[in-house]
Amino acid sequence: MNQKTGINDQVTTVTSQPYTIGSVISQDGTTIGYRQYGHGPGIVLVQGAMGSAYNFMRLAEMLADAFTVYVPDRRGRGLSSRPYSKDYCVQRDVEDLSALLDQTGTHFVFGLSSGGAISLQAALSLPTIRKLAVYEPALFVKGAPTAALLRLEKEVTQGKLAAALITGMKATQMGPPIFNIIPTFLLEMLTQRIMEQEEKNGSGEYLPMKVLAPTLQYDFRAVIEMSDKLANFKDLNTPVLLLGGSKSPAYLKAALDTLEKTLPHTRRLEFPGLGHAAAWNYDKQRNPNGQPEQVAQELRRFFAES
């Protein structure tokens, strides 16, 4: 079966892989590539930091029997490989999402982490978004990691990608608890070794860490820009489903607390025992805590409601 989607699309024959590849052109000329799964009302899944469309593969497949699921690679990665630039702001990601929504006629959005923050901002200005679900938008009620961004940008410029990854994980509290007691230089050495091993053995369909590390700049800039704008969401009339896990960092729960009090049309659900990466593929090595089936169940319920 051949399908053609979007503008400037590649025509892909669907055989063993249940998706097609398409692309749209954003307002500033950036090509945004995406995977398309299934049939039905459209949903766009907006990725967070250190991931690509492939990280949402299982979640998309679980929704594909009832929805057409569009999974873009955010700018700077994968099918949307425009290099990072210093003039980046959240509006660029909003424009990317707008181009995909307009071309596909989609009205539902799910955003994870920094992708959740971008999706919230998009819903303020894009009336085409009729329902929005977000999993732990990466927002800081206080103490946005401005210093970490400056350090991260310097490390990326110097080619110290392992150091940049450690800076990012520490600032967002995404590393395991042992990160708090191991000296930073040892963590960087270990991360560098893992990156070298990955380069030698390959990363399958996952984007390698050396490709994703520079994109952290986008995510940090987005999070810092958005963290002082939480009060703006009092004007968001779109129905919003707030999702989170009981094992996630406290600052993410604080952001959900604030959003729950601020958004006029929202409800909130916490998954017992799950963490920040629950919506990603389960992977024994990369993400042993992935539980996309639980997230998919709640998304199906929310987006199917009249």
34-50 pLDDT per residue, tens:
999 999 999 999 999 99
Residues 118 and 178 in one domain: no
Kindly state whether residue 220 falls inside one of the protein's structural domains: no
Residues of the chain with pLDDT under 50: 1-17
Q: What is the pLDDT of residues 259-285, one digit of tens each?
A: 999 999 999 999 999 999 999 999 988
Give me the number of domains the chain comprises. Answer: 2
Rounded to 5 degrees, φ, ψ at 34 are -150, 160
Supply the DSSP string of 190-229, one letter for each residue.
HHHHHHHHHHHH--TTSPPHHHHGGGHHHHHHHHHHHHT-
Using alpha carbons, select from 98, 109, 116, 107 the residue that is nearest to residue 30: 98
Residues 150 and 76 in one domain: no
Q: Are strands 31-37 and 68-72 parallel, antiparallel or unpaired?
A: antiparallel
Three-state SS at 256: helix
Write down the pTM of the prediction: 0.91
Tell me the residue range of the domain where 25 lies. 2-143+228-304
Residues 7 and 117 in one domain: yes
Residues 153 and 125 in one domain: no
Residues 17 and 160 in one domain: no
The pLDDT assigned to 8 comes to 40
User: In this structure, what CATH number is given to the domain that contains residue 62?
Assistant: 3.40.50.1820
Residues 125 and 263 in one domain: yes
Residues 108 and 121 in one domain: yes
The pLDDT assigned to 3 comes to 36
Residues 101 and 193 in one domain: no
Kindly state whether residue 190 falls inside one of the protein's structural domains: yes
Residues 26 and 98 in one domain: yes
Contacts of 83 (CB under 8 A, 6+ apart): 76
Residues 134 and 21 in one domain: yes
Kindly state whether residue 219 falls inside one of the protein's structural domains: no
Residues 76 and 201 in one domain: no
From 161, 187, 214, give the residue that closes a domain: 214
Residues 115 and 54 in one domain: yes
